[in-house]
């Protein structure tokens, strides 16, 4: 009985282990400069996994946890949220007032940093086959 229980526990432990492959890398523009804002998205028929881009351009991707890696397979890769606010200060023209004479607050405007194909799943030319050598995949994108 003890042997059967031990075998069952080992089986359950192994079923949950070893499925994902750790994956990390950097998001770089065509000149090798890091993209320091946004999210890297990995999409396959199994679903979507994301990784936040760090201030040095690096990322670590996860599926169930933030950095637990990806299941083996082929992924489309794109970058979302790589945008910077555009200065919309009052010096760019007269400020509009509401009916009470108060300045109208406008939501901030943003400028995309990357060329459109790299920002959508439908148009991205990037793919990644997991596992990759060294568990490292640099995402190379074109800036606008």
Spatial distance between the Cα atoms of 95 and 105, rounded to a whole number of angstroms: 9
Decide if 1 is inside a domain. Answer: no
| Average pLDDT score, the chain | 84
pTM over 0.75: no
Choose between 42 and 68: higher pLDDT. 42
Residue 15's pLDDT is: 41
CATH number, position 58: 2.60.40.10
Classify 104 as helix, strand or coil: coil
Residue of 36, 38, 122, 124 whose CA lies nearest to 78: 124
Domain housing 120: 20-87+100-141
Decide if 94 is inside a domain. Answer: no
Residue 11's pLDDT is: 36
What is the count of structural domains for the chain? 1
User: Is 60 exceeded by the pLDDT of residue 3?
Assistant: no
User: Is 60 exceeded by the pLDDT of residue 56?
Assistant: yes
């Amino acid at each position: 009985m003890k042997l059967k229980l031990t075998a069952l526990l080992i089986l359950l432990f192994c079923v949950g282990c070893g499925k994902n492959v750790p994956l990390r890398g950097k998001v770089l523009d065509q000149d090798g400069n890091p993209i320091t804002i946004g999210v890297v998205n990995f999409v396959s028929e199994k679903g979507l996994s994301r990784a936040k881009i760090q201030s040095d351009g690096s990322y670590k991707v996860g599926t169930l946890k933030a950095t637990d890696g990806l299941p083996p397979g082929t992924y489309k890769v794109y970058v979302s949220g790589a945008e910077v606010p555009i200065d919309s200060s009052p010096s760019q023209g007269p400020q509009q007032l509401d009916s009470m004479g108060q300045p109208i607050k406008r939501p901030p405007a943003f400028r995309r940093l990357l060329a459109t194909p790299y920002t959508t799943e439908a148009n991205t030319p990037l793919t990644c086959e997991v596992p990759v050598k060294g568990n490292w995949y640099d995402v190379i994108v074109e800036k606008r």
